[in-house]
Structure 1
Amino acid sequence: MSRLPTLSATEIPSERLLLRRALHDADREGFIELSTDPEVRAYLGGPRPRSEVEQRFDAVITAEAASRPGNYIIADNTTNRLIGTLMLARRSTESPGHVTEDGEELELGYVLRRSAWGAGIAFEAATAALRAAADELPDQPVLLVTQTANERSLKLAARLGFRPVSTFQEFDAEQTLCTAPLSMFHI
């Protein structure tokens, strides 16, 4: 586990969304859909077997939220329905793709249900999380890693203000490493 802090907020509201650390029983089907949908998982190693995802959900829901720093459910702020997940946590030093000598930079990642694609949800959720982090944490580089073939994700990274700095091979595909200073999200 990282020795460096990540975002501690348990809830982060935005105009249409609520980012929450707590995973609820009602999130089960949405969580399973995120992990088993072939289109959602196209650039994430493919769909996972449903039985594996169900076991993972059961393990996560019984774990303490504190054991999952930086992981959030993206929920509709009126229905509390799971739309996706967002992670703003430390990138493992064992993973390729770093911009500092010591590694463990903050890394942004998100996955949305297909029904939420194209509505600006990922942009809104990422902006809310990055603004909260900028208010809480010292300035530092934030990473975003995506398959180079994932043009939609690269466009969103650019819209958020991330710039590509390198590519590397991981998960049998070329990945693009993008970075932005956390301070640029401070309001």
Structure 2
Amino acid sequence: MKVFLETQELILRQFTEEDADNLFELDSDPEVMRFINGGKPPEDKIIHKQGLPRVLGYYEKYENFGFWATIEKSSNQFIGWFHFYPAIENKFAVELQLVNNDEIALGYRLRKSSWGKGYATEGSQALVSKGFAELGVQRVVAWALTANKASIRVMEKAGLKFEKEFTFTQSQLPNVQPLERKAVKYALNKDEFHLPQRLA
């Protein structure tokens, strides 16, 4: 198990084959998936045959980019994940002509039991800081449905700024109502980055 990043409250490590049940449990919570796919539960075989292999594949393709299983230090429990990878790896973003080759996409998915503890902000700030300081990242981007106010606040706390509005297509989010498919993209360039006080 390779630890990628450690913060005051969190450990971000590589996923392993043993994390399939963790992923399935995470994605089985309709509230967690509300702004991802309208709350539709996953199929176990999809996690095992597609989801987890895709996640593990990033480690072969990139040394420092991919998905990171997130452990809460106080409980030593899996609470979700963060991703930090080349934005052109995101199929939907490419279809919408939303991203460029030099952009790294930031995102996360956390268990409901860990919401409201500042973990999304803590992990996001740490990844942005590491990306600019150590990984040669020049630009970080993130996106969220307009209705997902909590994630938009996290992007802002991580230093990202509003860039544009866009709308996901019906084929991309078939379980989300048309008006709810509206989204926003946020971005931050390296030369605009200021180390958050809590990480200084």
Query: Considering the TM-score relative to the shorter chain, is it more than 0.5?
Result: yes
Aligned to 1:87: 83
Deviation of 1:84 after TM superposition, in Å, equals: 0.9
User: Cα deviations across residues 51-79 of structure 1 (Å, max 9, x unaligned)?
Assistant: 32243466368758324632111112355
Q: What is the correspondence of 1:35-184 to structure 2 with a 5 Å cutoff? A: 35-45=27-37, 46-47=39-40, 48-56=42-50, 59=53, 65-67=59-61, 69-77=65-73, 79-92=75-88, 94-96=94-96, 97-98=98-99, 102-138=100-136, 140-170=138-168, 171-172=172-173, 173-183=181-191, 184=193
- Going from structure 1 to structure 2, the CA distance change for 1:110 and 1:140 (only over 3 Å counts) comes to same
TM-score (norm 1): 0.80
Aligned to 1:3: none
**Percent identity of equivalent pairs:** 22
Partners of 2:137 and 2:144 in 1: CA distance: 23
Question: Does structure 2 conserve the Cα–Cα contact (< 8 Å) formed by 1:10 and 1:22?
Answer: no
Partners of 1:36 and 1:17 in 2: CA distance: 23
Give the residue type in structure 2 aligned to 1:110. Answer: Y
Partners of 1:67 and 1:32 in 2: CA distance: 24
Partners of 2:152 and 2:56 in 1: CA distance: 34
Give the residue type in structure 2 aligned to 1:33. Answer: E
Partners of 1:179 and 1:58 in 2: CA distance: 28
What value does the CA root-mean-square deviation take over the aligned residues?
2.6
More relative contact order in 1 or in 2 (CA 8 Å, sep 6+)?
A: 1
Partners of 2:120 and 2:14 in 1: CA distance: 17
Q: 2:23 aligned with 1:31, yes or no? A: yes
Comparing both structures, which one devotes a greater share of its residues to helix?
A: 2
Question: After alignment, is 62-71 or 33-42 more displaced?
Answer: 62-71
In structure 2, stretches of 5+ residues that fail to align are: 174-180
Partners of 1:79 and 1:72 in 2: CA distance: 18
TM-score (norm 2): 0.75
- Going from structure 1 to structure 2, the CA distance change for 1:37 and 1:50 (only over 3 Å counts) comes to farther
Give the residue type in structure 2 aligned to 1:17. Answer: L
